[in-house]
Amino acid sequence: MFCHECGDSDDELIEGLCKDCFLKQLSILTIPQDISVTVCAHCNSKLENGKWKESYLLEDEIIYRVLENAIEINQLTKNPEIELEILQMRGTIAECYIEAKITIYGREVIQKYETNVRLNKSVCTPCSKRNSGYYETVIQLRADSRELTHREIAKTNDLIKKSLANQFEKDKLAYLAQKTEMKEGIDYYFGSSKSGRRVANEIKEEFGAVIKESPRLITQDKSTGKGLYRVWISVRLPNFQVNDFIEFKDKIAQVASVSGSKIIAINLKTFEEFSIQWRDYDDIEVLGRSNEILKTTLISKSPNSFQILNPITYEVIELPLNKIAINSNIGDEVNVIGIENEFYLINN
């Protein structure tokens, strides 16, 4: 058997060639001489098959990934060792060096390649929308019949910042486009309706709230014929806070806790807890605030009643015995709240 290339005889021919001629003609890798990739000038995401992917990668990482995807490995070789190196950047062109090493038919083969990767700068769709102030959802944060507290505003701002950071990897429109502060509350403008709805639910979970959505037709999509909507989300914080006093279905109570699903209150006569669903919010009447709680002295008690001093007039008031009075001693200082000309003992 003779080699088709050099004519030498060899006990083992590979595709009609001796080992030397085969290895001379063998190309471990196939690499285009010039490679180009379109990247966003703002977030470094790549345009692949008409879609923007992998944002916020370092420029070097983009180049290495583009190189890896462009390299074709000869099927006759198995698992070659490949080293990639960026030699230098000339503007938006990266001059790259590739080395491939493989052991085949008992011999080590090392091949070296050079190519260029060109970064074509553009602006991705999400960044274009962000830079133009685009938004899909507005959260209108209000407090019912009162002003928002400094704590509520600070907590909401922090919650929004963390929520958008968590969402951004999967939703590139999860950003705050604008914030407008007014006397009646704050309007937050969000890039996507999905991120706005999630933030609204997180605010409700934090403070408790009544949420209502109002979609508004903005324009018509010429390509699909479908309407394009923006969503206004009203997030109304309750007209009370924890430790305030309310009346619900003839029960006078103190608010113990507030969550996204319900309100927990303590009946001031029986000291039993009960829950109120947010759908019944409009049936709640606010009777007093926690800063209206006063201190007085327990001056006597009997098997069925106890006496305290009116903290304003210092007159003696007799009330039915309850568990707070039972667990208190004569002379103890106790907390009371005056509601509709009646006083109620409050847990310290």
The mean pLDDT of 138-167, rounded to a whole number, is 96
Same domain (yes/no): 248, 334 = no
pLDDT digits (tens, 9 = 90+) for 274-312: 999 999 999 999 999 999 999 999 999 999 999 999 999
If asked whether residues 91 and 25 sit together in one domain, one would say yes
Which residues in 54-135 belong to E strands, given as ranges? 72-73, 81-90, 93-104, 107-122
Same structural domain, 220 and 176: yes
Predicted local confidence at residue 222, as pLDDT: 64
Residue 7 inside a domain? The answer is no
Section 156-184 average pLDDT: 95
Residues 283 and 312 in one domain: no
CATH number at residue 265: 2.30.30
Map residue 101 onto helix, strand or coil.
strand
- Residue with the two structure tokens 């923007």: 52
Structure tokens at 240: 């009370």
- Which pLDDT value is given to residue 192? 95
> Which is more confident, 98 or 76?
98
In this prediction, residue 11 carries a pLDDT of 63
Going by pLDDT thresholds of 50, 70 and 90, the confidence category of residue 4 is confident
Rounded distance, CA 45 to CA 122, Å? 10
234-247 average pLDDT score? 96
State the residue for tokens 């990668």: 57
Same domain, 233 and 246: no
Would you state the pLDDT for residue 202?
97
pLDDT of residue 24: 83
Q: Which residue has the tokens 């959260």?
A: 139
Residue 77: pLDDT over 90:
no
pLDDT, tens only, 203-234 = 999 999 999 999 988 877 665 667 778 999 99
Sort strands 251-258 and 245-248 into parallel, antiparallel or unpaired.
antiparallel
Query: Nearest 5°: phi and psi at 197?
Result: -65, -40
Q: At 14, is the pLDDT very low, low, confident or very high (cuts 50, 70, 90)?
A: confident
In a domain, 13, yes or no: no
**The model scores a pTM over 0.85:** no
Question: What is the model's pLDDT at position 97?
Answer: 96
175 and 137 in a single domain? The answer is yes
CA–CA dist 103, 79 (Å, integer): 10
User: Which pLDDT value is given to residue 103?
Assistant: 83
Count CB neighbours of 52 within 10 A: 20
Alpha carbon distance 253, 272 (integer Å): 9
pLDDT at 340: 87
69, part of any domain? yes
| 272 and 201 together in one domain | no
* Whether 160 and 227 share a structural domain: yes
Looking at the domain assignment, is residue 14 inside a domain? no
Does 200 share its domain with 138?
yes
Give per-residue pLDDT as tens, 98-152: 999 988 887 888 999 999 999 999 999 999 999 999 999 999 999 999 999 999 9
Residue 8 lies in a domain: no
Q: Provide mean pLDDT across the span 237-254.
A: 96
What distance in Å separates the CA atoms of residue 284 and residue 271, rounded to the nearest whole number? 18
212 within 8 A of 194, measured Cβ to Cβ: no
| Same domain (yes/no): 297, 260 | no
The predicted structure's pLDDT at residue 36: 94
Residue 92 clears pLDDT 90, i.e. is over it: yes
Q: Is residue 4 part of a domain?
A: no
Do 199 and 159 meet the contact criterion of CB atoms below 8 Å apart?
Answer: yes
Q: Is 212 within the bounds of a domain?
A: yes
Task: Tell me what pLDDT residue 221 has.
Answer: 63
Residue 18 pLDDT: 80
- Choose between 25 and 227: higher pLDDT: 25
Task: Report the CATH number at residue 342.
Answer: 2.40.50
Asked if residue 233 belongs to a domain, the reply is yes
**Structural domains counted in the chain:** 4
Domain carrying residue 88 = 19-125
Asked if residue 315 and residue 248 are part of one domain, the reply reads no
User: Any idea which residue has 């133009």 for tokens?
Assistant: 132
Segment 313-343, tens digit of pLDDT? 999 999 999 988 989 999 999 999 999 889 9
Asked whether the beta carbons of 285 and 321 are under 8 A apart, the reply is: no
pLDDT at 20: 76
